[in-house]
Amino acid sequence: MSDPVVRIGFSACFMHADPERALFKGKTLLYMENSMARWAMRNRAIPVLLPLAADGFKPAELVDGIDGLLLQGGSDVCPRTYGEEPLKAEWGGDEIRDLYEIALVEACLEQDKPILGICRGCQVLNVSLGGTLYQDISTQVEKSLVHRDWDVYEDLHHELVFEPGAGLSDLYGGRETGRINSIHHQGIKDLAGCLRVEARSPEDGIIEAVVLDDSLSLDPKHKGRYVRGVQWHPEFIEKKDETLLDPDPLMKDFLSQVRGRRA
């Protein structure tokens, strides 16, 4: 018997209004990346793109019709969202998207709906729960790896090490290391107090995965919640590529939590 189908809300990627764009001139576009959608669908989940709350709708009403939330990758997080000014203009990020996604996170925590954050989504989770980010790893972390190379994009790979006892390690048979893709120049700096590190880049210590640990929080809406974020892009990894971590254990664990709450 196959798993029941669930509806996963995808936070939207934004293309803001551009009067010079040939298509949809001057209009704001919201979209999902197709590899992310297919990653969910092959595990019996229907992606539902969530718009900005407007026209009388509140974020709580938007998430009321979904079973879980997936925060997509994409644009930089704006430093102002975590109380800093951009060190360079090009690191200004997307403050509108930040506030939209943080509101979705808060609504899902209130409603006990599992949350999975991918790349930018992992960073948004940290910021929404009180943490901060490196605006640019190569500038702010001494002797850091190159974590983003536009020319090779998802073909840039590096090792990670799982923290001892990490639940994420258990999803991969208790292994201690793995290999992932890397497509980011921002990363977690100050970890939110209710999050626990699950994996790091061994060469420079950059956090690669986090999970909500309700024992670290006094907030009742964190009790028993499922919140996990990873800094890499599992949706870009082909299952046949045995050199990289299989993308599906992560999605299957997320969806098992979603289905368990629907039962």
pLDDT in tens, the chain (263 residues): 689 999 999 999 999 999 999 999 999 999 999 999 999 999 999 999 999 999 999 999 999 999 999 999 999 999 999 999 999 999 999 999 999 999 999 999 999 999 999 999 999 999 999 999 999 999 999 999 999 999 999 999 999 999 999 999 999 999 999 999 999 999 999 999 999 999 999 999 999 999 999 999 999 999 999 999 999 999 999 888 899 999 999 999 999 999 999 87
Q: Specify whether 85 is catalytic.
A: no
**Which pLDDT belongs to residue 204?**
97
What are the residues whose beta carbons fall under 8 Å from the beta carbon of 90, sequence distance 6 or more? none
Q: Hey, what CATH topology would domain 6-262 get?
A: Rossmann fold (3.40.50)
Q: Is 95 a catalytic residue?
A: no
Query: Tokens standing for 163?
Result: 């923290």
Give me the torsion for CA of 87, 75, 120, 219, rounded to 10°: 80
The answer to pTM > 0.85 is: yes
Catalytic residue among 101, 198, 208, 235: 235
Q: For residue 235, give the 3-state DSSP assignment.
A: helix
The answer to whether the CB of 225 falls within 8 A of the CB of 110 is no
Q: Which two tokens stand for residue 56?
A: 């009388």
pLDDT value at residue 2:
83
Phi, psi dihedral angles at 115 (to 5 degrees): -130, 135
Domain ranges of the chain: 6-262
Given the residues 119, 158, 184, 208, select the one marked as catalytic. 119
Cα(63)–Cα(58) distance, rounded to whole angstroms?
A: 9
Q: What is the pLDDT of residue 182?
A: 98
Tokens 């992932």: give the residue.
180
Active-site residue 235, yes or no?
yes
Amino acid 221: pLDDT: 94
Angle between helix 95-111 and helix 120-128 axes, rounded to 10 deg: 70
Beta strands in the chain (DSSP E): 6-11, 13-15, 29-31, 45-50, 68-71, 115-118, 133-134, 157-162, 177-181, 187-188, 195-200, 207-212, 227-230
Give the DSSP letter of residue 237. Answer: S
> What pLDDT, on a 0 to 100 scale, did the predictor assign at position 157?
97
The per-residue pLDDT for 1 is 65
